[in-house]
Amino acid sequence: MKKFLISAAIVSLVSVPAFANTADKSDAEIRAKVQEHIKTIDTNADGSISKAEHDAASDRMFSEADTNKDGQLSLDEMVAKKQSKKAKMDR
């Protein structure tokens, strides 16, 4: 069960950061946030995200979250990453 929860949290970390805390935002605000997020992933600037660009972004996010660089994401590291993302989204 714990393993499932951690797996779900990893999926959440990688897949939906641009969509966090959207309940009180307008469609235009959400669209602007997603476009901002895409710019950080779309390394060849063609306006879409390839599988390679997505995988590279996922690897980058994992590395950023793995603060003790042991190749594993602990619950504390994932919570810290989520809190960091929340702080950025609330700005």
Q: Which residues bind Ca ion (CB under 5 A)?
A: 42, 44, 46, 66, 68, 70, 72
CB of residue 21 to Ca ion, shortest distance in Å: 25
Would you say 15 or 67 has its CB closer to Ca ion? 67
Two tokens, residue 8 = 């779900």
CB of residue 56 to Ca ion, shortest distance in Å: 10
Report the number of secondary-structure helices (H) and strands (E) in the chain.
4, 0
Asked if 54 and 40 touch (Cβ cutoff 8 Å), the reply is no
Asked if 82 and 73 touch (Cβ cutoff 8 Å), the reply is no
CB of residue 17 to Ca ion, shortest distance in Å: 18
